[in-house]
Amino acid sequence: MIQGGTIRGSINLPAQSLYPTLPSVYALCKAAGLRKVIFYCGSSAGRGTRATGWLADHIAEAGDNELKSLALAGGIKGWAAAGSEYVEWMDGYDAAVWTKS
């Protein structure tokens, strides 16, 4: 479990190992029938945005017009700060992690 919690249904794909596995990630997304892949990190200002771009490039190179690669605006920090209707969708939510100054 990631400290503070994760969005239910999400999987952890570390950015440092994502790029070389893009063909496999793409194939898994297609096999699962996904239409959107949403990446996030702490604020989606770094790793989440890079991962989004890498998969978007791979999708474009494949000529795929169905699968979309997106970044979660504000990242997990923004999600956790958005209120109870969002945190109820987090597994392992720990308010203390998100309220630190």
CA distances from 19 to 7, 40, 77, 86, 93 (A): 22, 15, 24, 29, 29
pLDDT tens digits, the chain, 101 residues: what are they? Answer: 568 899 999 988 888 899 999 999 999 999 999 999 999 988 777 899 999 999 999 999 999 999 999 999 999 999 999 999 999 999 999 888 887 65
Domain count, the chain: 1
> Does residue 82 fall inside a structural domain?
yes
pLDDT at 101: 54
> Does residue 29 fall inside a structural domain?
no
pLDDT at 72: 94
> Does residue 68 fall inside a structural domain?
yes
pLDDT at 1: 53
> Does residue 28 fall inside a structural domain?
no
- Closest among 96, 100, 94, 95 to 1, alpha carbons compared: 94
Query: What number of helices (H) and strands (E) belong to the chain?
Result: 6, 4
> Does residue 10 fall inside a structural domain?
no
> Which residues is 38 bridged to in the sheet?
70
pLDDT at 14: 87
CA gap 71, 62 in Å, rounded? 20
